[in-house]
Amino acid sequence: MSPPRFVLFEDTSPEAEAVLIALYRKMSPEKKMRQVGALNRTVKQLALSRLREEDPEATEEVLKLRLAALWLEPALLLAAYGRERLEAAGLL
């Protein structure tokens, strides 16, 4: 019996997924890193859009800190930005 197949995408046929995996394997590490960077920028923009929608009056500084709070654990957030800035942004 063969081992269970790892599924990347529930809505994609196994054949299409195999083609995608083959393309990823042929990709240079540099290109893979560029794609990861592009995806990270997209996620950041989506998160900022949500934060702006939740509080349209928030300043860019406050939005920046709220975005950081989505990714960083509280101790690291505090060490990176300081109590005063986080309190001013309503994060403490």
pLDDT at 67 over 90: yes
Torsion of the alpha carbons at 84, 86, 88 and 92, rounded to the nearest 10: -100
In a domain, 6, yes or no: no
In a domain, 23, yes or no: no
In a domain, 46, yes or no: yes
In a domain, 51, yes or no: yes
pLDDT at 3 over 70: no
Q: Domains in the chain: how many in total?
A: 1
pLDDT tens-digit map of 19-66: 988 999 999 999 999 999 999 999 999 999 999 999 999 999 999 999
Domain extent at residue 78 = 29-88
In a domain, 43, yes or no: yes
Helix (H) or strand (E) holding 54: helix 29-54
For residue 72 the two structure tokens come to: 């960083």
In a domain, 16, yes or no: no
In a domain, 17, yes or no: no
pLDDT at 85 over 90: yes
Question: Across residues 59-81, what is the average pLDDT?
Answer: 95
In a domain, 14, yes or no: no
Mean pLDDT of the chain: 92
* Rounded Cα gap, residues 16 and 23, in angstroms: 11
For residue 59 the two structure tokens come to: 């300043």
